[in-house]
Structure 1
Amino acid sequence: MRLATVEYEGRPMAVVERDGGLYRLDGPGDGTLGALVAAGPEALRDAALGATEEIEAGRRLAPLRPGKIVAIGLNYLDHIREAGVRPPESPLVFAKFPSSVIGTGEAIVIDAELTGNVDWEVELGVVIGRTLRHADKDEAMAAIAGYTVANDVSARDLQFADGQWVRGKSLDTFCPLGPVLVTPDEIADPQALVLRTRVNGETVQDSSTAEMVFGVAELLSYCSRAFTLEPGDLVLTGTPWGCGAFMDPPRRLVPGDVLETEVEGIGVLVNPVVDADASPGRR
Structure 2
Amino acid sequence: MAYSLIRFTQPGSQTEQAGVLVDGRVHPLPVQVNDLIQNWATWETTVEQLLASGSTQDSLNEKDIRLLAPVQPQQIIQAGANYRTHVIDLAVSHKKDDQSEEEVREQTARMMDKRSEEGLPYFFIGLPAAIAAPNDELSLPYYSQSHDWELELAAVIGKYTYRVSVEQALEHVFGYTMVNDITTRDLVFRKDMPAIGSDWYRAKNAPGFFPTGPLLVPSKFISDPQQLTVTLKLNGQVMQHESTADMIFSVAQLVSHASWNMPLLPGDLVLTGSPAGNGAHWGRLLKDGDVMEGSITSLGTQRVACRDEVRV
* TM-score normalised according to structure 1 size: 0.91
Please give the alpha-carbon distance, in whole angstroms, between the structure 1 residues aligned to 2:262 and 2:237.
39
- Offset at 1:144? 1.0
Aligned to 1:33: 33
State how 1:1-283 maps to structure 2 within 5 Å: 1-8=3-10, 9-26=13-30, 31-37=31-37, 39-51=38-50, 53-56=58-61, 57-84=64-91, 87=112, 88=115, 89-113=119-143, 115-161=144-190, 163-247=198-282, 250-277=283-310
Please give the alpha-carbon distance, in whole angstroms, between the structure 1 residues aligned to 2:258 and 2:280.
28
Equivalent pair of 2:292/2:304 in contact (CA under 8 Å): yes
Please say which of residues 79-88 and 63-72 is displaced more in the overlay: 79-88
Q: Indicate the RMSD between aligned Cα atoms, in angstroms.
A: 1.6
- Offset at 1:215? 0.2
- Offset at 1:184? 0.8
In structure 1, what residue type is equivalent to 2:140? I
Consecutive unaligned residues of structure 2, counting only runs of 5 or more, are 92-107, 191-196
- Look up the SS of the partner of 1:95 in the other structure: strand
Larger Rg: 2
Q: Deviations over 1:23-59 (max 9, x none)?
A: 0112xxxx2212311x333134134235463124311
Please give the alpha-carbon distance, in whole angstroms, between the structure 2 residues aligned to 1:151 and 1:251.
17
Consecutive unaligned residues of structure 1, counting only runs of 5 or more, are none
Please give the alpha-carbon distance, in whole angstroms, between the structure 2 residues aligned to 1:34 and 1:222.
23
Please say which of residues 91-100 and 41-50 is displaced more in the overlay: 41-50
In structure 2, what residue type is equivalent to 1:128? I
Q: Name the CA shift for 1:67/1:50 in 2 (closer, same or farther; >3 Å).
A: farther
- Greater strand content: 1
Q: Deviations over 1:43-94 (max 9, x none)?
A: 3413423546312431111102211110000000010111106545210101
Q: Name the CA shift for 1:41/1:139 in 2 (closer, same or farther; >3 Å).
A: farther
Please give the alpha-carbon distance, in whole angstroms, between the structure 2 residues aligned to 1:46 and 1:152.
34
Q: Deviations over 1:199-221 (max 9, x none)?
A: 00000001000000000001111
Please give the alpha-carbon distance, in whole angstroms, between the structure 2 residues aligned to 1:163 and 1:132.
28
Equivalent pair of 2:36/2:43 in contact (CA under 8 Å): yes
In structure 2, what residue type is equivalent to 1:64? V
- Offset at 1:146? 0.9
In structure 2, what residue type is equivalent to 1:257? D
